[in-house]
Amino acid sequence: MILTVTMNPAYDMTYRVERFERGQAHRVRSVEQRIGGKGINVTRVLNQLGKYARATGFADHAFAAAAELEMPVDFVHALPWVRRTVVISESDDGTATALWEPGARVSNPHAAEQLTIRVAGLLPDINGLVISGSLPGGIDPGLPAEIARIAVEAGVPTICDVDGEALRLAAEIPGVVLMPNTEELERLTGLVPVTPDEIVHAVRPLLKRGVAAIIATRGAEGMIAITPEGAWVAELPEVLAGNPTGAGDSAAAAVIAALSERGDPDWPAILTNAVATSAAAVVIPVAGEIDRCLRTRIAPAVVVEKLARTTT
């Protein structure tokens, strides 16, 4: 089993209108609501990849009940309510405007301890862990790092896809795998790396501190995996148009699916699969879904190039 942790879940709302104009009233053509959050999206994609995945984290009773109708879940009921992420989608030209609510403040003073104990109790039964997304108010930014530390020490491959102070603290955990996007990598390193070689140089201090791997997701420019053994860049020769929301979560699902198999990681193969899975998510209008046929078809087209060694 692979476990995902979502501490700040959301109801993903999509409002479809003809054209959105500020200051005007709009007649909404259709409304779609589904449970969401980065770890929830990872769980969905893992299940589509044929991996058994369970979701945990924080939620309220209503969200946990709705999630249980779709996937195996084991949430800590610590939120007074669950936020919404609203996307206004225009049929006129495909433009999307997003509004992200910050989320409720955790009301349970023992929530962090309860989640840590819950994850620790599941460690003997899991072979992969993904901690992803933002944190609700009232939760210490060190919680993802603490959970990651416990998992890594138990021999469980662990990905942290978080941001800000939570990412900085997670980067102090030996053996963890980080998956920052371009902006998150800049905040983590204090640098603005542009080229693949500059990215490799920027993350070398993280590797020296014991991080197992950094997979930098770069949108249309593909991904770069940097490990103590080497670095590889992978991309598609042609960019696919669509909705990039959830593409990074799909990539995380592909990476943890491979790492959960144990053995020495084949990073070129992992990157190929991650890029193809991410692209297969872009063509789907909602996050957490992939076009599996497209993924299979485009995987052979992914171009992987090895870069300079990272230990020099």
SS3 per-residue string spanning 63-78: HHHHHHCCCCEEEEEC
| Partners of 12 in the β-ladder | 34, 85
What residue type is 165 in one-letter code? Answer: E
For residue 295, give the nearest of 232, 243, 251, 259 by alpha carbon: 251
C-alpha to C-alpha distance for 20 and 37, rounded to whole angstroms: 25
Res 264: pLDDT: 87
CA atoms lying within 13 Å on the CB side of residue 133: 29
Three-state DSSP class for 274? helix
Q: How many CB atoms lie within 10 A of CB 226?
A: 27
Helix 267-282 vs helix 247-259: angle between axes, to the nearest 10 degrees?
A: 150
pLDDT for position 312 = 42
pLDDT, position 242? 63
Q: Which residue has the tokens 């997304």?
A: 133
DSSP H helices in 190-300: 196-208, 247-259, 267-282, 292-298
What is residue 243's predicted lDDT score, i.e. its pLDDT? 65
- Contact indicator for 39, 5 with CB cutoff of 8 Å: yes
Distance of CA 17 to the CA centre of its chain: 29
Residue 308 one-letter amino acid: A
E-assigned strand segments in the chain: 2-6, 10-17, 30-36, 53-59, 73-77, 83-90, 96-100, 128-132, 158-161, 177-178, 213-217, 223-227, 230-235, 303-306
**What secondary structure letter does DSSP report for 164?**
H
- Could you state, in chain order, the average pLDDT of each consecutive group of 10 residues for the chain (312 residues)? 96 88 91 91 94 96 95 94 89 79 88 96 96 95 98 97 95 96 93 92 94 92 92 84 77 95 89 90 76 84 79 45
Is the Cβ–Cβ distance between 289 and 44 less than 8 Å?
Answer: yes
CA–CA separation, 1 and 95 (whole Å): 38
pLDDT given for residue 241 in this prediction? 65
Short-list 273, 269, 270, 264, CA closest to 296: 273
For residue 202, give both structure tokens.
Answer: 């920027």
Predicted confidence at residue 91, as pLDDT, reads 81
**Cα distances (angstroms) measured from residue 150 to each of 60, 74, 138, 173, 255:** 25, 18, 21, 10, 20
